[in-house]
Amino acid sequence: MSNKLNHSMSLAKPDALDISAKQKVALAIGVIGLFILALALFNTNFPNKAVFLTLSLGLIIGGVIVYSREAYLTKLEGIKNDGVWFKSISSRGVWGWIVGVILTTFYIVLYFFPKYLGLGSDGEANTGLIGLFDPLSQLLSGRNASQWFVYGTLYTVAILAFGYKFILKYRHNRYQQLRTISVMFFQLGFAFLIPEFMYVMNNDLPYYDLKSIWPLNYYIFDEWSVNGFLSNGNIGLALLLFGILSIFVFTPILTYKYGKRWYCSWVCGCGGLAETAGDSFRQLSSKKMYAWKIERWLIHVVLVFSIVMTTAVVYTYLGYDKNDFWLTRGVFISLVIGFLTLVFTAVMVFKRNELGKDAKYGAIGFFIVIALLLIMHFTGTTDHLFYVKAGALRSAYGIYIGSIFSGVIGTGFYPILGNRSWCRFGCPMAAILGFQQRLFSKFRITTNGGQCISCGNCSNSCEMGIDVRHYAQKGENIVRSSCVGCGICSAVCPRGVLKLENDSMKGRINPTEILLGNDVDLMDLVNDK
Amino acid sequence: MEHIVIIGNGISGVTLARHIRKLSDKKITIVSAETDYFFSRTALMYVYMGHMKFEHTQPYENWFWKKNRIELKKGYVKQVETASKTLHFAEGDTLQFDKLIIATGSKPNKFGWPGQDLNGVMGMYHKQDLEALETYAPNKDVCKRAVIVGGGLIGIELAEMLNSRSIPVTFLVRESSFWNGVLPQGESEMINRHIKNHHIDLRLSTNLKEIKSDDNGNVKSVIIEETGEELDCNVVGLTAGVTPNIDFLKNSEIELGRGVKVNRYLETNIPDIYAIGDCAEQHEAIGNRRPIEAVWYTGRMMGETLAQTICGNKMAYNPGHWFNSAKFLDIEYQTYGWVFGERGRPEYEKHFHWKHEDDTKCITVAFHKDTNEFLGINTFGIRMRHEVFDRWLTEKRDIDYVMHHLSEANFDPEFYSRFENEILKAYTNQLQTA
């Protein structure tokens, strides 16, 4: 594993960097906060839940704040990566695995066994951990907490506290600060507070985090969700329309102008957690060629799956004939196929050359989707699709993609696979935005002439597993569908080689063989070959 | 099939091998005694600092070499027999070549200081140096103080490395100000202050007299030439420049100076034998360049060029406009064109200097005092676009044009504060008062 020679037989790594006494105190404060949560989990009945909840969350946030200030404000501004590959927690050491196991277990219990967290069933009062959060939930929306409220609160606390840490770590870098403030704002406002207030105003509306866009928000077009919107008059209809416009209109425009980063590292909640609480794990994402191959297959399979499944879900609750609504199954399936064909044809006509060998895979993917939709249309019955009960199909999709992939593996495995493994391997939204970013966007990471020294800091810190150096050392711009535009490669580059930019489409992709700095004729000779 | 043998798996040799492979089907062998695979030497410091693991410094995955039919041989070449085109290895075996390229890079200078071979004295160049540092300076308990001798780019990197593990550092610099053989005064002095801000004990105009040993042959202390002061320390880093690593060629027919003597085609005096990178010495310097250029970029460029020659398209090494970069602790440095320090500055070269009040950013623009032609720029803490300055230098723009269009060349990340207006104002004022 490590190249470092360890001449000591000591179990504690002799060269690991010690934390200061003040940081130890900060850690202890945070652990006490977590310990209160653990006590609640094991059904300690706190006398005044509001006080203990406040105390717990306050201690956690306070611990992180004190720790971060001591870590970064005691030093000069600059890159603060000393020892990340020595520390057990950030280099897949014992602490990394322990945290990974705890997080994973938490997600499994959260998704599949919420009663162990204390969720009251059949009208019973909440107990345990969920019970501890009742006062906060009552305060915000006048109802008792659910496991999702607990999760949402902890999620928001993590983004806020570690967002603060991240801002201090990059206090010399305004791009990093602004996008971190942005994800903190969207998490606190859009994912956490606004849905609660919307419930207070109109408790029939389905939970709707306005920034969570289909297909990341995989249930927005489910029957209960759509019915929820439609049965709520104009406001409901407006929200549903907003959801549809988000993916078909807003997203393409913003991605064209700024790349997918406007969403993935400025707005998205999954991205927000990855960039803040997950920042210490970014170097763990694999840059090996095989990881890239797995990534390409996996993420596009999920995309195909989510398009087909969403179509199927909508399809199941549409009627057959024109009597009840103009949008019948036949019309809907034709619309979907028509839209996909339009996109496919446009790409093949205008971008065939840029795709190269990948055009074949794109075509295969397209025809698989069409074939699946047609099979569904001609074999489906009222409640069976693909010969499976429609309800079962829907919940299977929710469990496998929504729960296991995004939660259990996506976040639980932060300390093992890196902080963006969900975004990289599984997010269908990232796949769609990435597809557009690669083919039709002004965004790129510009490589600065011939200044690269192949040191590898950029690749090492890429959370999406892009081998940035592979491009930079060839003097080539980085135009990759997976890039979320976090900007850390540019920040850590010791030679000022990388810059995230929105510029014209022309010359965005610039394959070169001879780099700037050499004889001009030689560059022409080899590059124009 | 013609057999191309390259001694040295650094940036020069590997660039050459890659380009020969792109252009031809020749048999290629790269020989190295240092490591199995190519790694980025400039990144060694990040391994010690824990930013990366050693494997991350390797730009190509291990399967790359076999896939591209580039054979790797680990071995130390002891002798080159030019007449029979044979390499003799220290391990006893031999290798035949049709064409030989010497790309063995440099080795740290040692100026005959007493005690320079003690345990705990090291350069910071080879992977073995990194391993030695890991042995003698794993933490501040084992290494209570380190002394660095020589104020150049490697010296300041070594200071940053040791600093990352909280090991106290004394930094002995022969010059009156850090790297002022290269940097103009204002920049050099700003870096002096930056070094001190990092709690590094910077001693200017200070030379090493000798390194003292304890009973076990380990470093115990150093004595300073000027004051006779004795400094207790456990590690001494020798970073007073590098020389071509060519001792193994001393008994061959290949013509040597300080490096392997080559012409503009990178040919040595022996047919079919070439030299590139740090170890090559031009018979006559090219433009303002030095005859030996020990820089990453020039090594790469020589590799790119020689690949053309070896594959039948004979081409002279003809580097474009000079550029370079480095990082001094937290301050990035880039240079395009020529900006000279006090020493060796041509009499026609004049400077405009601007420094930000926070003392971490500055630029120096060099121009011709008679024609106002823009000659070059040094920039600290502000990133600039290589392509733009390369173009301006080719177009022979004057300094007025450059100062008024400076924002086109800015390469800082989005949302960073911009200083073009402030710089322009300073420039206008300075010219009026001058």
Q: DSSP labels for B139-152?
A: STTT-S-EEEE--S
pLDDT (mean) for B54-76: 97
CB contact under 8 A, B304 and A515: yes
In chain A, residues 416-455 whose CB comes closer than 8 Å to chain B: 446, 448-451, 453-455
CB contact under 8 A, B390 and A449: yes
**B307 and B19 Cβ atoms separated by less than 8 Å:** yes
> Which residue of chain A is at minimal alpha-carbon distance from B60?
A470
In a domain, A410, yes or no: no
For residue A493, what is the domain's CATH number?
3.30.70.20
Q: Which residues of B touch A517 (CB under 8 A)?
A: 297, 301, 319-321, 323, 386, 390
Whether the ipTM is more than 0.90: the answer is: yes
Whether B233 and B247 share a structural domain: no
One-letter identity of residue A511: P
Number of domains in chain A: 2
Q: What is the pLDDT of residue A385?
A: 75
The reply to whether A2 touches chain B by the CB within 8 Å rule is yes
- Between B392 and A13, the higher pLDDT residue: B392
CB contact under 8 A, A448 and B57: no
- Cross-chain CB nearest to B51 (options A14, A76, A84): A84
Whether B231 and B253 share a structural domain: no
Which residues contact residue A440 at a Cβ distance below 8 angstroms, ignoring those fewer than 6 apart? A255, A256, A351, A505
In a domain, B397, yes or no: yes
- A459 phi/psi in degrees, rounded to 5: -60, -45
In a domain, A497, yes or no: yes
User: Where a domain ends, among B310, B331, B358?
Assistant: B310
CB contact under 8 A, B304 and A289: no
Q: Which residues of A touch B305 (CB under 8 A)?
A: 518-519, 522
- How far the first Cα of chain A sits from its last, in Å, is 42
In a domain, A169, yes or no: yes
> Which residue of chain A is at minimal alpha-carbon distance from B139?
A15
> Which residue of chain B is at minimal alpha-carbon distance from A520?
B320
> Which residue of chain B is at minimal alpha-carbon distance from A500?
B413
Distances (CA, A) of B8 to A21, A305, A351, A455, B258: 47, 50, 43, 18, 18
Q: What is the pLDDT of residue A324?
A: 62
CB contact under 8 A, B134 and A79: no
CA distance B382 to B416: 10
Phi-psi region of B284 (alpha: psi -120 to 50; beta: other; left: phi over 0): beta
CA distance A255 to A265: 12
In chain A, residues 298-357 whose CB comes closer than 8 Å to chain B: none
CB contact under 8 A, B52 and A7: no
Q: Which residues of B touch A491 (CB under 8 A)?
A: 413
Whether B214 and B247 share a structural domain: no
pTM, entire model: 0.93
User: Where a domain ends, among A174, A203, A232?
Assistant: A203
Q: What is the pLDDT of residue A8?
A: 44
Q: What is the pLDDT of residue A9?
A: 46
Whether B210 and B298 share a structural domain: no
Whether B223 and B133 share a structural domain: yes
Whether B200 and B273 share a structural domain: no
CA distance A23 to A66: 7
Q: What is the pLDDT of residue A209?
A: 83
Q: Which residues of A touch B388 (CB under 8 A)?
A: none
In a domain, A2, yes or no: no
One-letter identity of residue A432: I
Helical spans, DSSP H, in A285-387: 289-317, 329-355, 358-379
**Of B192, B124, B198, which is closest to residue B163 (Cα–Cα)?**
B198
CA distance B33 to B80: 15
Count other C-beta atoms under 10 Å from residue A346's C-beta. Answer: 12
Tokens linked to A261: 């980063």
pLDDT (mean) for B17-44: 96
Q: What is the pLDDT of residue A6?
A: 46
The reply to whether A514 touches chain B by the CB within 8 Å rule is yes
Q: Which of B38, B330, B386 to mutate to test the interface with A (most CBs of A within 10 A)?
A: B386
For the stretch B289-334, pLDDT in tens is 999 999 999 999 999 999 999 999 999 999 999 999 999 999 999 9
Whether B43 has a pLDDT exceeding 90, the answer reads: yes
In a domain, B115, yes or no: no
Q: Which residues of B touch A455 (CB under 8 A)?
A: 40, 42-43, 46, 57
Per the prediction, chain B carries an average pLDDT of: 96
| Residue B220: domain span | 121-240
Number of domains in chain B: 3
Question: How far away is chain B from the Cα of A521, in angstroms, using its nearest Cα?
Answer: 9
For residue B292, what is the domain's CATH number?
3.50.50.60
pLDDT (mean) for B124-146: 95
pLDDT beneath 50: ranges in chain A: 1-12, 14-15
| Residue A146: domain span | 15-75+113-203
- Between B44 and A2, the higher pLDDT residue: B44
User: Where a domain ends, among A141, A168, A203?
Assistant: A203
Number of residues assigned to chain A: 529
> Please, is A332 exposed, middle or buried when counting C-beta atoms within 10 Å of its C-beta (0-12, 13-18, 19+)?
middle
